[in-house]
């Protein structure tokens, strides 16, 4: 039997919730894998500070994006510029909890597993030699430009003046030696 003969399609069921009196919010019961991956990747990327995950930011971004991806709430581009403020509003008004509770347990579990797995994999990768070599490759050309500038601007006469001064300060003894001072 061919797969196409099954005539299957991805689930598109929704659940309607009323977290605030008089307000209906539609919550998807399934999010396609590509969208789950996007949600997780965006949350992880935005929660990095100084090269490490800020777990507080990760919680805020992840939960806010769950509401954005799974519900029919719409946010303006201006509102999306301050995800942390959106998180605070959604969280304190019970909307995050209501949306997360409306998502089937297996779906929510799959999403959090994806987040935790990618989070852990990213940490392991950042500690690996491959990541460090990649960082070196990215930084090396810039550093080599600086080295080239230093070499091009190097003035041997200034270096010799420093050597002469150090030699004089050393009692006229050669400063280019490993011998102990007498």
3-class SS letters over the chain: CCHHHHCCCCCCCEEEEEEECCEEEEEECCCCHHHHHHHHHHHHHHCEECCEECHHHHHHHHHHHHHHHHECCCCCHHHHCCHHHHHHHHHHCCHHHHHHHHCCHHHHHHHHHHHHHHHHHHHHHHCCHHHHHHHHHHHHHHHHHHHHHHHHHCCHHHHHHHHHHHHHHCCCCCCCCCCCCC
Question: For the ranges 28-37, 53-62, 115-124, which has the lowest average pLDDT?
Answer: 115-124
pLDDT of residue 8: 82
- 20: which residues sit within 8 A by CB, 6+ positions away? 93, 94, 95
Share of the chain above pLDDT 70, in %: 81
Residue 182 has pLDDT above 70, yes or no: no
Task: Give residue-wise pLDDT tens across range 164-173.
Answer: 777 777 777 7
Task: Give residue-wise pLDDT tens across range 66-119.
Answer: 999 999 999 999 999 999 999 999 999 999 999 999 999 999 999 999 999 999
**In this predicted model, which residue has the larger pLDDT, 89 or 129?**
89
**Confidence band for 159, pLDDT divided at 50, 70 and 90:** low
**Confidence band for 179, pLDDT divided at 50, 70 and 90:** low
Q: What is the rounded CA–CA span in Å between residue 68 and residue 99?
A: 10
Tell me the pTM.
Answer: 0.68
Spell out the domains of the chain, with CATH numbers in brackets.
Answer: 9-127 (3.30.2220), 128-182 (no CATH)
pLDDT of residue 138: 72
């Amino acid at each position: 039997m061919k797969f196409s003969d099954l005539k299957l399609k991805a689930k598109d069921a929704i659940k309607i919730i009323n977290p605030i009196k008089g307000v209906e919010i539609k919550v998807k019961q399934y999010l396609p894998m590509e969208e789950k991956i996007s949600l997780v990747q965006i949350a992880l990327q935005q929660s990095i500070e100084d090269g490490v995950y800020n777990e507080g930011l990760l919680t805020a971004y992840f939960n806010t994006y769950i509401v954005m991806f799974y519900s029919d709430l719409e946010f303006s581009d201006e509102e999306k510029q301050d995800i942390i403020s959106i998180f605070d509003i959604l969280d304190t008004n019970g909307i995050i909890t209501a949306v997360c509770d409306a998502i089937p347990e297996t779906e929510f579990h799959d999403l959090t597993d994806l987040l935790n797995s990618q989070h852990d994999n990213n940490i392991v990768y950042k500690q690996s030699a491959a990541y460090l070599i990649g960082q070196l490759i990215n930084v090396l050309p810039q550093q080599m430009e600086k080295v080239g500038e230093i070499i091009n601007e190097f003035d041997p006469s200034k270096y010799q003046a420093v050597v002469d001064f150090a030699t004089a300060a050393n009692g006229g003894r050669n400063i280019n030696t490993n011998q102990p001072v007498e």
